[in-house]
Chains A and B, each alone.
Chain A
């Protein structure tokens, strides 16, 4: 963000002989006027719901109180203790869901990063057909989520899907056709589908980042005898650091919060191995109509994401400042 002062905020306006008298009040009102709709909407869609959600996590909000939820009794931290009590199914399932989500996020973010980087580097030099690959690789990102995930659901069907057809019938890698959408395989399925959707975003960001690296850097280093691997480590990676920093955080938050992929892939009966946390909270709230415990889980999720983001920002910014010093 620039720190320049606004044109008409300067203390002494340029003096012109025929200058009109300064219109002080209107000048200060205008920014407030045009930002008002955004502030009102932010209040309505973010601030009030968040405050409400926080409050909801401290009251007993079962189905008896949904219609008159303002009268729901205050129960303090009880919803939180229910959510994290490992001696009950609720607590165990939440822990399981959290661990599944951590593994899911690590794999999806890591592999999307790798694939996106590989594709961007492979498409860095001009060659015939480069535009075709570029366009093809962006299609998964542009496809509406449900269209692509429904297609994957069909592909992963046990008896009629292409995956088992290839693995069992054509290549003979597997003996019995496995189920991909129930049991432990569900984890593999949801990871692959999420990567399919996510990696083009990394590709897109890296492609744009690579354009900003001057070609002379590569030429000069080639004269000094640096090979492609060395160039990648010493030029490409450091030059992409700013893109990387933002992108990793954004991808982490998107993937960790992913509700849509498991919802469309598994339907409402998600297997424990694919029980991602957003989906879990949704089910905990709407299937058992216990919004209080659901809200407590949401607040815990938010605190976790906030903590990770702050630690991440602290270290990346700290490193940046150290470099500049």
Chain B
């Protein structure tokens, strides 16, 4: 079937418009990160007067960026690992067995996924404060506390998506495993996991991205020592100056690994994300 002229014009307009819209911030971020501070303060210019990589060096000392980076990395990896593991086990149970409480469990999981974060923030904050005063277990301002709260976003989504994925894996495979004398855990590890790998990867990416970009809980539940990138980046502004070139250099630096990872896994992610929605 041939493309009409109208379709070509439509396509060209849409692609040019959206490309400008999407690319403008990316262009500004990249070029500004290579400008001297004087350039930035003199008003916007499309090109740097001189290209400098100084902002990428100075950004580490203006704020303790390395510490924030490590905090983000630890919390994000812990949240990702925990939610993927817990969700995989739960989704296997829900997908392969009928048991008491299965329906209510899934309803809870589905509905909590949608609730506003601020709804959980106040109670979690108070519960953490209370656990601290009653049992002496510090959670406010610790990485463990933050990791637990990040599960509020990633766990329901992970369970919901993996159940859909596991349901799509034919039960004949499980039965073949059974006949060979494999136990339930062996079937999960040897048959289900490999077959559901795209879904598990998608869930992991989602958990990583939400935790890496989260701001609300991090702003309340961290202290100077445990602050994550999301909150830490705001400290490039002093009372007299905003070090815009360094802010954007740091933003660029923390974005590149995430964006690269996402684009590499893109196909998995799309397939996984839509598996639940399209059905």
- B44 and A162 contact, CB distance less than 8 A: yes
Q: A34-B90, A162-B44 are in contact. Are A154 and B216 (CB under 8 A)?
A: no
Stretch binding the partner chain, chosen from A39-47, A179-187, A315-323: A39-47
Q: Is A82 an interface residue (CB 8 A)?
A: no
Most buried by B among A1, A66, A143, A259: A143
Q: A38-B89, A286-B220 are in contact. Are A196 and B22 (CB under 8 A)?
A: yes
Q: How near does chain A come to B243, taking the closest CB pair, in angstroms? A: 11
Complex Cα–Cα for A212 and B271 (A):
12
Q: A144-B254, A282-B121 are in contact. Are A35 and B105 (CB under 8 A)?
A: yes
- A144 and B14 contact, CB distance less than 8 A: no
- B278 and A38 contact, CB distance less than 8 A: no
Residues of the B chain whose Cβ atoms lie less than 8 Å from the Cβ of A25: none
- B271 and A208 contact, CB distance less than 8 A: yes
Most buried by A among B229, B251, B271: B251
Q: A205-B274, A278-B117, A298-B118 are in contact. Are A52 and B127 (CB under 8 A)?
A: yes
Complex Cα–Cα for A200 and B233 (A):
25
Binary contact track B123-158/A, C-beta < 8 Å → 1, others 0: 110110110010000000000000011011001100
Residues of the A chain whose Cβ atoms lie less than 8 Å from the Cβ of B70: none
Q: A136-B22, A219-B1 are in contact. Are A145 and B122 (CB under 8 A)?
A: no
Q: How near does chain B come to A217, taking the closest CB pair, in angstroms? A: 11
Q: Is B116 an interface residue (CB 8 A)?
A: yes
Contact of A35 among B25, B94, B127, B271 (CB under 8 A): B94
- B244 and A160 contact, CB distance less than 8 A: yes
Residues of the B chain whose Cβ atoms lie less than 8 Å from the Cβ of A209: 274, 278
Q: How near does chain A come to B198, taking the closest CB pair, in angstroms? A: 13
- Give how many A-B residue pairs fall within 8 Å (CB-CB): 293
Interface positions, chain B 48-79, Cβ under 8 Å from A, are none
Interface positions, chain B 145-179, Cβ under 8 Å from A, are 148-149, 151-152, 155-156, 159, 163-164, 167, 171, 174-175, 178
7 contacts between A and B (CB under 8 A): A37-B85, A46-B120, A50-B123, A142-B258, A142-B259, A145-B230, A253-B114
Q: Which 4 A-B pairs have the closest CB atoms?
A: A38-B90, A142-B262, A147-B251, A208-B274
Q: Which residues of A contact B (CB under 8 A)?
A: 1-2, 4-9, 28, 30-32, 34-35, 37-39, 41-42, 44-50, 52-53, 56, 66-67, 69-70, 115, 118-119, 121-122, 125, 127, 133, 135-148, 150-152, 154-155, 159-162, 164-165, 196, 204-205, 207-209, 212, 218-219, 222, 227-228, 242-243, 246-247, 250, 253, 256-257, 259-260, 263-264, 267, 278, 281-282, 285-286, 291, 294-295, 298-299, 301-302, 305, 309
